[in-house]
């Protein structure tokens, strides 16, 4: 079953069970997917749908940080619940250890170990992100790459 089919089925269940929070979130996700399909001028495959979901998850993470700074516990809780719900549809994320191994291998392949500067960082980030696309958060990858190069 594709990711979009899972979302559609869950939307029907939420509608039947009158789960308004989930229903609102799922409708918003379907709308974002539909907008991406219109922009792409065709139907999205699972990878395209996952990309839309990752963008929605990233927005929730950024909102959580902003609401925490603003002292809005109620909104932090709401965004956190939505984030956990969206993560059900995303591929399983890599562990820090597995991610470090990928970065270590790329650094060795590129020969950037101990190299400083933006060019080495950019090359390593590009190669790592192409390998872990959808399986790791970009900020986490950036943090590990900086740690290993710096």
Domains of the chain: 3-87 (1.10.1510.10), 96-149 (1.10.10)
pLDDT at position 9 over 90 = yes
Sequence-distant (6+) residues with CB within 8 A of 141 are 99, 103, 125, 128, 129, 132
Residue 148's pLDDT band, with cuts at 50, 70 and 90, is: confident
Read off the pTM: 0.72
First to last CA, the chain: 43
Alpha-helical regions (H) of 41-137: 46-70, 73-87, 96-110, 118-131
Please state, as a whole number, how many other Cβ atoms lie within 10 Å of the Cβ of residue 106: 22
Report yes or no: 132 and 141 within 8 Å, Cβ to Cβ.
Answer: yes
Instruction: Report pLDDT digits (tens) over 31-73.
Output: 999 999 999 898 888 888 988 998 999 899 999 999 999 999 9
Q: Which of 120, 127, 136, 121 is nearest to 106 (CA)?
A: 127
Average pLDDT over residues 118-144: 80
């Amino acid at each position: 079953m594709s990711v979009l089919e899972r979302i559609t089925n869950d939307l029907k269940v939420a509608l039947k069970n009158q789960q308004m929070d989930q229903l609102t979130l799922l409708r918003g996700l379907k709308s974002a997917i539909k907008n991406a399909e219109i922009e792409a001028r065709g139907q999205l495959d699972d990878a395209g749908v996952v990309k839309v979901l990752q963008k929605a998850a990233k927005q929730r993470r950024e909102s959580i940080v902003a609401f925490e700074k603003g002292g809005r516990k109620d909104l932090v809780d709401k965004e956190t619940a939505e984030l956990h719900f969206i993560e059900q549809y995303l591929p399983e994320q890599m562990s820090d250890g597995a991610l470090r191994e990928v970065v270590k291998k790329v650094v060795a392949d590129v020969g950037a170990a101990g190299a400083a500067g933006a060019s080495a960082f950019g090359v390593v980030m590009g190669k790592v992100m192409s390998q872990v696309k959808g399986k790791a958060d970009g900020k986490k990858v950036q943090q590990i790459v900086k740690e290993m190069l710096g």
